[in-house]
Structure 1
Amino acid sequence: MIQLAAVVKTGGVTEGAALLGLAQPAVSRTLSMLEKRLGEPLFIKGRRPLQPTPLGRALADHGQVMLAASRKATDTIESFRVGKGGTVRVGGTPFFMDALIAGMIAEFQNLHPNVRVDQSYGYFSDLRAALKADQVDLAICPIDILDEGSGLEFQQILPGRNVIACRVTHPLLMKHRPQPSDLLNYPWIAPPPGSPLLADLRSMLLSFGATEIRIRYTGGSLMGAVNYMKGTDALTILPHSVVFALRKDKSITALPVAVPHPERALGLLKRADAPRMPAVDHFARHIRSGFENLKHLIKRHEQSVVWGV
């Protein structure tokens, strides 16, 4: 019926065969066999260009639908092969996803508008389980160490760097060099439960000599924490890259206080035995490239804001 549709559309067997990239004798045989099978003519005899009978026209209409579907399927296959179509299922830790990755997803889809991105949130244990259950294709998260034999692959894209974040009008910014003991005079925002930042916060404050932690606000999203900080003198711990990403808002900044850097790195996590998916590969390269371009800017920002050099 696809061949019939092509002949009806072009008005000739030769032309219809050329449209489909087939040989004219092959199309003639197909139409002849179809007429014998139906016991009815498909074209009115003696008319040039060829004119279909009512039955021929009806079957050609079906063939046209099939031809369109066939071409669409071919386009879908080709888009998948070159990574310009398909779906990318990506999961990641909330603060990084909101501050950095969401913008990179937008940039990626401007280049690949036919690729759908399904994003979810989670911390390392959740993301590891989601990868093994084939619920996500790629995870973007900070990890300390990957167990041997885990069946996962990790590619580092940014070393771990924490800073103490506050609003841009915080009183401590008036001090030339705030001391760790000064920080204990202010309340704190705790990162969400399950976040590795929560353990970093407790460890850092204990190293500063705190006997108890004055938590004023907990469990909020990144924007929730930022908006809370904007209206209070509360402090919190954040990855430096997150503070860097929010620098243009001019609402929060980092205190010039050195804090211990965690023994972990932000990176891309995927199953070692995952089937090749071109769209996922393109997306992963886009994220790696984005962070490669940001590394030097983030380092310069850290030296300027935290170290004052």
Structure 2
Amino acid sequence: MKMDERHLIQLAAVVQAGGVTEGANLLGLTQPAVSRTLAMLEKRLGEPLFVKGRRPLQPTPLGRALADHGQAMLTATRKASLLVDGFRHGRTGVVRVGGTPFFMDVLISGMIAEFQDATPDVRIEQSYGYLPDLLAAINADRIDLAICPIDVLDEGSGMRFQELLPGRNVVACRVTHPLLLRRKLDPAELLDFPWIAPPPGSPLFADLHSLVLSLGATEAKIRYSGGSLVSAVNYMKASDALTILPHSVVFAYRNDKSITALPVNIPHPERALGLLRREEEIRAPAVEAFCAHIRKSFEDLKHLIKRHEQAVIWSL
């Protein structure tokens, strides 16, 4: 015998609420409509669903068994409704985000945690890459967005870039580096010390080469290369090696009091950190909520980073 799922759901609501009127209210239906459904169901089954004369209503063994099935359907329906509501408001779903390693590790990862504290049912899938790889991943629909530094976005790329933070590079070192004792630092003195090379493919790698050329040399004394941000910082803390980093990354380590920036201006390209997405796409609410959170987090950070930068007297 084929059963109508709606009838079982109404039966479950009545059993759960203990009365027809209460069950109807639970479902947003009228009492007469639910009464007709129960009468129709009993007539079709040829068996009573409730024990006569009992208040609150007491289901018969058959009524209880059928109500259990209806309750499972009612629970699933409610979960589906909550899922749809959560999806529409960006509280459920999946966000696939890619980004450059240094920024993702030291800045974005904490922002992701804060976002998920407020929206625990949104799953974040994070990956690493530099601009060419990130563009390919967006175009292949492997990620929804990227957080990365960009100099210029080619026209006709089909991408939209929203700036989060203007770019500024600094020469980073440990807080006890001998160059910090100089009253007037000569930029050429940077070449007297060993360097940590940024990862190949990183924009910072090209920036280091430009810095060396601006100092009148063709190459720096590279002592360590290929490491992650954590390994580079740990290496700096234990040596007099220098490296080039975005100022925002050095800012993120301010409370650690292990690395700092040398007070020297260095050349750096016009580059900004931002959100990279396709111009034309169906916007998933969870992705929109995540992007709004990242924008707000950087807006809150901007003035703190600026104050930190101004605390260093940059030599001209």
Common fold, TM-score beyond 0.5? Answer: yes
Q: Does 1:103 align with 2:110?
A: yes
Does structure 1 residue 255 correspond to structure 2 residue 274? no
| Counterpart contact for 1:5–1:61, Cα < 8 Å | yes
Gaps in structure 1 of 5+ consecutive residues? none
Preserved contact between residue 123 and residue 194 of structure 1 (Cα < 8 Å):
yes
CA distance in 2, matches of 1:189, 1:21: 67
1:50 corresponds in structure 2 to 57
Q: Does 1:187 align with 2:194?
A: yes
Q: 1:302 aligns with which of 298, 305, 309?
A: 309
| Aligned AA (2:146) | A
Q: Secondary structure at the match of 1:305?
A: coil
Match of 2:35 in 1: 28
State the SS of the aligned residue for 1:297.
helix
Measured against aligned partners, the alpha-carbon deviations of 1:262-287 in whole angstroms (never above 9, x if no partner) come to 12111001111221222221221111
In 1: Cα distance, 2:188 partner to 2:14 partner? 86
Which residue of structure 1 lines up, in the alignment, with residue 132 of structure 2? Answer: 125
Q: Which runs of 5+ in 2 are unaligned?
A: 1-7
Structure-2 change in CA distance of 1:152 and 1:187 (3 Å): same
Superposed CA RMSD? 1.7
Aligned to 2:172: 165
Mapped to 2, the partners of 1:94 and 1:76 lie a distance apart of 33
* Secondary structure of 2:210 counterpart: helix
Cα offset, 1:124, TM superposition: 0.8
The residue number in structure 2 matching 1:112 is 119
Q: Which one of 5, 13, 32 corresponds to residue 6 of structure 1? A: 13
User: Residue by residue, what CA displacement relative to the aligned partner does 1:73-116 show, whole Å, maximum 9, x if unpaired?
Assistant: 11111111112222222111110111111111122222223322
Which of 251, 262, 274 is matched with 2:281 structurally?
274
Which segment drifts farther, 24-33 or 234-243?
A: 24-33
Match of 1:94 among 93, 101, 104: 101
TM-fit CA distance, 1:306? 4.8
SS of equivalent residue, structure 1 residue 108: helix
Which range is displaced more, 202-211 or 297-306? 297-306
Normalising by structure 1, we get a TM-score of 0.95
Q: Distance in 1 between matches of 2:308 and 2:268?
A: 16
Divergent runs of 4+, >4 A: none
Partners of 2:36 and 2:200 in 1: how far apart?
A: 71
CA distance in 2, matches of 1:84, 1:143: 30
Q: Does 1:244 align with 2:251?
A: yes
Tell me the SS of whatever aligns to 2:192.
Answer: coil
CA distance in 2, matches of 1:131, 1:204: 32
2-structure distance, mates of 1:40, 1:135: 56
* Paired letter, 2:314: W
2:66 maps to 1:40: no
Q: Secondary structure at the match of 1:191?
A: coil
The match for 1:265 is 272
3-state SS in 1 of match to 2:33: helix
Q: 2:123 aligned with 1:150, yes or no? A: no
Whether contact under 8 Å (1:254, 1:306) holds in the other structure is no
Q: For residues 30-60 of structure 1, give each alpha carbon's deviation from its aligned partner in whole angstroms, at most 9, with x where no partner exists.
A: 2233334434332233433322221111110
CA distance in structure 1 between the partners assigned to 2:164 and 2:285 by the alignment: 20
Aligned length: 309
Please tell me whether residue 284 in structure 1 is matched to residue 315 in structure 2.
no
Q: Which residue of 2 aligns with 1:225?
A: 232
Contact 1:42 1:55 in 2 (8 A): yes
SS of equivalent residue, structure 1 residue 194: coil
